[in-house]
Structure 1
Amino acid sequence: MDNNIHTKEDLVFKLKYFSKIASLIVIIMAIIVLFGWIFDIPIFKFTMSGLVTMKVNTTIAFIFSGISLYLMMIEDKNHQIRKIAQICAFIAILIGMITLLEYFLNINIGIDELFFKDILAADDTSIPGRMSPISAFMFIFLGYALIFSKNKNHVKFTQITSIICAFIGLLAFIGYVYSIGPLYGFGNYTPIALSSTIAFIILSAGILFINAEYEFMGIITSKHLGGDVAQNLLLPAIVIPLLLGSLTLLGWKIGIYGVEFGISLVVLANIAIFTTIIWWSANSFNNIDIKRKEAENQLKEYHDHLEGTIKERTEELWSINRQLHSEIAERMLVEDRLISSLNEKDLLLKEVHHRVKNNMQIISSLLNLQSNYIENKEHLEVFKESQGRVKSMALVHEKLYRSKDFERIDFADYIKSLASNLSCSYRIPNIDFNINIGNISLDINNAIPCGLIINELVTNSFKHAFKAAKNHVDKSNKIYIEFFKEEEGFTLIVGDNGMGFPENLNFKNTHTLGLQLVNTLVEQLEGNIKLDRRDGTTFIISFKELKYKERI
């Protein structure tokens, strides 16, 4: 029964503090008696006429028991101090056991008067210097209680042993107060001394309070009503009858009244005192009960208020929840419509790109058919160039049509397809393409101008850079296309290692449609174009990706 969670901490602290004080009191009493034996001072031996004094062995056992109790109250993480305390308790047990052995076997081992001769032994002392068998029994039991006092599994044993020894000591003390010999001694054995009786009561209480927050003491130190009852009534129940009995006996001995009157006085005093205690306790409990009911009423009011608040908040939450469900359903409906609309838009865009691509292929086919009826080479070349431009634009729409993203195309794939188409159109097999393009995607507004620029510049390379290559196979003839992204935009490089661009010709001011178209498209992209005549012809075009406003 572990009640330490519900005990009064201040009361537990005071009781444990009393255990330390009790240990010191017992040690001091024993030392005083021992000094009385050493220097033969009767008053230090607590000697009274016809009474037994505390024996030397008893003082030694009390000293070791007191030391053991004091050491047990010291916090000891390594248990070194506890071991010393247990050794001291074992010495007290050993003294008690040897004494009992002498009594039961009727022998004298020699420890009774080992240090001092019991010259002043009273008539009731059976053997000079030997402690009472009651004292020996109590040293054994209290010694074991001390040894196991810090073991949580033996708290109940420790407390029961302490209570029994305290009761025996109190019984002997009452015997001395009321002059009843059998209560502090029996037979021809040495009685327990009055000073020993007091020391045993104090020592037993000190051991009992070591674990004041556990088991039986936990009930007394409890914060609950049972603890309050025990704290209010336990001490008066012990002290008041003892005092009343003593006063009554004293009055009878000095002849103030007779036995009958004394007994009547004790009964009346007990009734009056315990009635007063009961009334006082009842009044205290009534006040506690009133406060409890007031607290319960306040708690009920808080509970009702809280329930009302929870109900209101719950209704508000339900209303908000219904509103949220309605909004979610509406948003899901709108989302479904948007998804449907986007799917329709995607389908429409795909169909538009598909139709534009088909229309441009039709235009390209018409140009191709018409070119069959043209005999003039210059006119035929114009038709062929126009057909290439149409194909480059159709290719953009074809890539968009086949792409999952209808806004941007993979420009590396587009340029490779465009270069392949141009190569097939001009059918010059001894010219190699070097294409170096990163992972770049462009939207249609930037892809079409770039595609037309590449178409025009590559077409010029096929037409003018490698005139000799048509008759002579030279694997070193190359057309290269590079396109990469930089911090400030894009850079497009289209060149060849052919004959080179004529020195007397200004590419920005020429009468040819191809270069005029290239310059126009570069301006449309808001870019710059440069010409490098070293090792052939190289056009370098830099531009930033244009952001066009959305068209409605």
Structure 2
Amino acid sequence: MASPSDDDETNALERHAARQRESEHRVKNTLQLISSIVMLQGRRVSDEDVRQALKAVQSRVAAVSVAHRHVTWGEDAEETELAGLVREIVGDLAGSAGREGVDIDLDLESVIIPGRNAAPMALIVSEAVGNALRHAYPDGRNGRIRVALQRIDHGFELSVADDGVGVDDGAGDRAPTPAFGLTVAQLMAQQVRGRLQTGGVPGQPGVRIAVTVTMDSTAPRA
């Protein structure tokens, strides 16, 4: 028979779980509201650059929303299975881009990260994959994007590599990622105390963006 103290503890846990579900629901609704406002604003502007900028904002909000859904409660802290998060974001980006002839290969190992790092990692994926889909294959070119997540000593590496026009092709002034997008990715890498690298793909055209994170770097800041 349960003691009064056991009942009190059970009730407290149930109240905590209920408050957490309510908080998650409010966050989800808030993110959906922001996304809807951005989408409506995009429909009202005629300038194509502004429209694309607003579309990029909407993609970032969507990435944060996906990250929020993938945060679960582990044994003693919030955590996220990163491969599942990456898979969903890439699927959403590929669907919204509608780029036939551009295939995306996923090579994802299971990696568990702290829940607080889910949103920064989601934004890095969104920026890197979104950049490749928008800029690597102009004029209807075909190609292949590879997204890899692998465990390394004391951490993991997440990389996005394309075989597109790269940075020296005559198709335009493409950089490894647009200036603001690169800034976002760099800031998010700093948030998880990771190291972001951008450059060419060895032995082939294209661009590779990778973030390396050691598991020690996910410890709370002092």
TM band (smaller chain): 0.7 to 0.9
1:418 aligns with 89
CA 1:528–1:506 in structure 2 vs 1: closer, same or farther (change >3 Å)?
farther
Q: Does 1:518 align with 2:185?
A: yes
Question: After superposition, what is the alpha-carbon deviation per residue over 1:37-95, rounded to whole angstroms, capped at 9, x for unaligned?
Answer: xxxxxxxxxxxxxxxxxxxxxxxxxxxxxxxxxxxxxxxxxxxxxxxxxxxxxxxxxxx
Q: C-alpha separation between the residues in 2 aligned to 1:454 and 1:368?
A: 21
Q: CA deviation at 1:439?
A: 1.8
Instruction: Specify the alignment match of 2:159 in structure 1.
Output: 493
Aligned to 1:548: 220
Amino acid paired to 2:219: K
The aligned residue for residue 466 of structure 1 is 137
Change (3 A) 1:541 1:352: same
Answer yes or no: is the 8 Å Cα contact 1:493–1:538 preserved in 2. yes
Q: Which residue does the alignment assign to 1:225? A: none
For the residue of structure 2 that corresponds to 1:533, the secondary structure is strand
CA deviations over 1:298-332 (Å, ceiling 9, x no partner): xxxxxxxxxxxxxxxxxxxxxxxxxxxxxx97xx4
Letter in 2 for 1:529: L
C-alpha displacement of 1:512:
1.9
Instruction: Please state which structure has a larger fraction of its residues in strand.
Output: 2
User: Structure 2: where are the runs of 5+ without partners?
Assistant: none
**How far apart are the structure 2 equivalents of 1:464 and 1:501?**
10
The structure, 1 or 2, with the larger RCO (C-alpha pairs under 8 Å, 6+ apart) is 2
337 and 532 in structure 1: CA distance in 2 versus 1, 3 angstrom threshold: same
Question: Aligned partners of 1:458 and 1:496: how far apart in 2?
Answer: 9
Preserved CA contact (<8 Å) 2:111 2:156: no
Kindly provide the amino acid, as one letter, of the partner of residue 484 in structure 1.
Q
TM-score with structure 1 length normalisation? 0.36
How far apart are residue 385 of structure 1 and its match?
A: 0.2
Give the 3-state SS of the residue equivalent to 1:434 in structure 2: strand
Describe the superposition over 1:204-251 as per-residue Cα deviations: whole angstroms up to 9, x where unpaired. Answer: xxxxxxxxxxxxxxxxxxxxxxxxxxxxxxxxxxxxxxxxxxxxxxxx
Structure whose alpha-carbon radius of gyration is higher: 1
Alignment of structure 1 residues 119-198 onto 2, 5 Å: none
**In 2 relative to 1, CA 493–511 (structure 1 residues): closer, same or farther, beyond 3 Å?**
closer
Per-residue deviation at 1:413? 1.7
What is aligned with 1:479? 145
Task: Supply the AA of the counterpart residue of 1:542.
Answer: T
1:394 to 65, 75, 90: 65
The two structures, once aligned, show a CA RMSD in angstroms of 2.6
Q: What SS does the corresponding residue of 1:372 show, helix, strand or coil?
A: helix
Task: Measure, in 2, the Cα distance between the counterparts of 1:395 and 1:429.
Answer: 24
Partner residue, 1:457 = 128
Indicate which of 361, 386, 399 corresponds to 2:32. Answer: 361
Partner of 1:444: 115
Shift of 1:444: 2.2
The alpha-carbon deviation at position 430 of structure 1 amounts to 1.8
- How much has 1:461 moved relative to structure 2? 0.5
Distance 2:178 2:118 in 1: 26
Please tell me whether residue 346 in structure 1 is matched to residue 17 in structure 2.
yes
- Give TM-score scaled by structure 2 length: 0.85
Q: Distance in 1 between matches of 2:168 and 2:5?
A: 63
SS of corresponding position for 2:44: coil
Q: C-alpha displacement at 1:433, in angstroms?
A: 1.2
> Across the two proteins, how many residue pairs are aligned to each other?
212
Query: Aligned partners of 1:429 and 1:348: how far apart in 2?
Result: 44
Q: 2:102 aligns with which of 418, 431, 444?
A: 431
Q: Distance in 2 between matches of 1:367 and 1:344?
A: 35
Matched residues, percent identical?
A: 23
The AA in structure 1 aligned to 2:196 is I
Shift of 1:386: 0.1
- Matched residue, 2:5: 334
Task: Output the CA distance in 2 between the equivalents of 1:343 and 1:449.
Answer: 30
- The verdict on how the C-alpha distance between 1:523 and 1:409 changes in structure 2, with shifts beyond 3 A counting, is closer
